[in-house]
Structure 1
Amino acid sequence: MCGMPQQPPVRSTSTRPSRPDASMSLLTNVMDHSLDDGYAEAAARKKADGTGALPKTLRAKLGLAAGLVLAALVVTVGAAQARIAAPVVAKEREELIDRIDRETSAADKLEDSIDKLRDDVSARQREALKKHGGEQGELVGILAGAVEVHGPGVKLVVNDAKEAEQGGDGDARETSGFSDTGRVRDRDMQRVVNGLWESGAEAISINGQRLTALSAIRAAGDAILVDNKPLVPPYTVLAVGDGERLRTEFQNSGDGQYLDALRKNFHIRTGISVEDDVRLPAAPSVIVRTAQPSTEKGTS
């Protein structure tokens, strides 16, 4: 039987209806995806890559500029405060200088007054010696250091080592558990004076300071004090006595040999010479507070 030719079955496909604006795809994309989304995507990508911030060089320049501005501000504020405080500081400085000048002037007046009182006391002592001591009064005054004396004797100069003058350490010597460094010490001058007394000196002075039975040679730091008055090197010792005999006996004594050892080993500079006439001033004052003359007569 003749049939009609078979047609392949036709499958129905469901197709999405096309958009009316399909032909305007570019405009549609622009409308559907605004520029804000693009900017947001670019910012997110830069942030993920670590490039979203300012360049490092730019950040460094901005930081430096900010630091300079801050430093300039601090300097400006400090300068302003200094200008404000300057008059006050200057006024306080002037007041302090004026006070120092006043106190110095007052101290000088007191020192002058002390010197005058000492001279007056010494004069009264000499008068008392002459009045009550008779012929022995002058001798007592000489031995006590209350009157000026002169006569033949020796001149002994003792000075620090040159290294000590130049600020060097010098050669150290150990004495009584502590070191010395090329400088003349109070104990050195004590031995010099004691050696001269033992060698026959009748009167002694150091740098114009008359020594008495009450005199003390001490130290205050590096300074040597005689009766609490500071002396500076070189130390010139004048001694009244038989010049040749005094020099020989002192040099041969233990104290003279001690001084010579200081010269040889530690470069202390010394020199002794015989003098035809040396003059020693009177002591500033000789005050005896306890001792009194005895009025009792011995029995035979």
Structure 2
Amino acid sequence: MLTAAVFALAGLLFFTSFNTAKGTNIRTDASLLKLSDLIEERSHKNGKLDESNGSLRDDVESLAERDNGGTKADDARLKALEKNAGTKKLSGDAVSVTLADAPPNATAKLPGYPEPQPNDLVIHQQDLQAVVNALWQGGAEGIKVMDQRLISTSAVRCVGNTLILQGRVYSPPYKVTAVGDPEKLKTALAASPEIQNYMLYVNAYGLGWKVDDDGAMTLPGYSGTVDLHYAKPVE
């Protein structure tokens, strides 16, 4: 009777597995890979659309400048607004900060620190935001994260250890570049309490941190949409 019960249970498991799989391999990660590929494809498509949008915007502005009916003072004010809005290229001395995950097999490198948990070994949203905030605090004239210029409505958001910025997806290492006075920018980075906390994890667990003087550099202008997107109540 015990043997019959074991075979009956095994049969039930086989039937459940067959019914769930429906002819597919349920142990494969293919569905996850397909989702990852889709995200990568959409991110690439969004990048192409941003480039196209930027090119069209340049054409529109070029046509508008031919005869806009404005005075030289109006034109000067418009150029100042464009610079502050981040929609035009910006040149000057630059400082870049690179953040990277720690090795997956990292252990505590300093005495008195506990062995790291998985969350201790990856870059988080607050780490990137701390760098951006410190650079603005240091008088940055413009900032780009990876290959995208930040504007007033840009949101640095992370899901897990993946950065989602203005419709595009990035994986670490993350690079933040700012144009401004290099010494003031680096002083602001060193003075940030949030970055000081991050440096504890750099020293204890090996998270990546690198600050470079890039010299003269040109940041791209923001080329995406400037329309505000916001939630609406469901009727």
Q: SS of the counterpart of 2:119?
A: strand
- For residue 82 of structure 2, the aligned residue among 141, 152, 160 is 141
CA distance in 1, matches of 2:147, 2:92: 15
Deviates more, 1:179-188 or 1:200-209: 179-188
Could you tell me whether the CA contact under 8 Å between 1:147 and 1:281 is conserved in 2? yes
AA in 2 matched with 1:172: P
- For residue 202 of structure 1, the aligned residue among 128, 132, 141 is 141
The 3 A distance-change label for structure 1 pair 113 and 223 is closer
Asked whether 1:238 is paired with 2:211, we answer no
- For residue 188 of structure 1, the aligned residue among 120, 127, 141 is 127
TM-score by length of 1: 0.51
TM-score by length of 2: 0.63
Matches within 5 A, 1:217-236: 217-236=156-175
* Aligned twin of 2:116: 172
Asked whether 1:156 is paired with 2:94, we answer no
For residue 129 of structure 1, report the CA deviation from its aligned partner.
9.0
* Aligned twin of 1:114: 49
CA distance in 1, matches of 2:131, 2:168: 18
Q: SS of the counterpart of 1:181?
A: helix
Asked whether 1:123 is paired with 2:67, we answer no
Encode CA deviations 1:137-160: one digit per residue, 9 max, x unaligned. 222212211011110121111111
For residue 233 of structure 1, report the CA deviation from its aligned partner.
1.7
CA distance in 2, matches of 1:109, 1:274: 29
Asked whether 1:259 is paired with 2:198, we answer yes
AA in 2 matched with 1:156: V
The 3 A distance-change label for structure 1 pair 252 and 123 is same
* Aligned twin of 1:214: 153
Count of aligned positions: 180
CA distance in 2, matches of 1:155, 1:107: 27
Q: SS of the counterpart of 2:154?
A: coil
CA distance in 2, matches of 1:223, 1:230: 7
More helix by share: 1
The 3 A distance-change label for structure 1 pair 136 and 256 is farther
AA in 2 matched with 1:259: Y
The 3 A distance-change label for structure 1 pair 128 and 286 is farther
Q: Percent identity?
A: 22
The 3 A distance-change label for structure 1 pair 107 and 206 is closer
- For residue 282 of structure 1, the aligned residue among 195, 201, 221 is 221
The 3 A distance-change label for structure 1 pair 118 and 267 is same
Encode CA deviations 1:96-131: one digit per residue, 9 max, x unaligned. xxxx9xxx9x98997687345412453257559965
Could you tell me whether the CA contact under 8 Å between 2:120 and 2:201 is conserved in 1? no
Q: SS of the counterpart of 1:172?
A: coil
Could you tell me whether the CA contact under 8 Å between 1:126 and 1:141 is conserved in 2? no
AA in 1 matched with 2:202: R
AA in 2 matched with 1:122: R
CA distance in 2, matches of 1:107, 1:255: 33
AA in 1 matched with 2:95: V
Q: Is there any run of 5+ residues in structure 1 with no aligned partner, and where? A: 1-88, 90-99, 174-178, 291-300
CA distance in 2, matches of 1:135, 1:145: 16
Q: Is there any run of 5+ residues in structure 2 with no aligned partner, and where? A: 1-22, 24-33, 109-114, 230-235
Could you tell me whether the CA contact under 8 Å between 1:151 and 1:278 is conserved in 2? yes
CA distance in 2, matches of 1:266, 1:226: 27
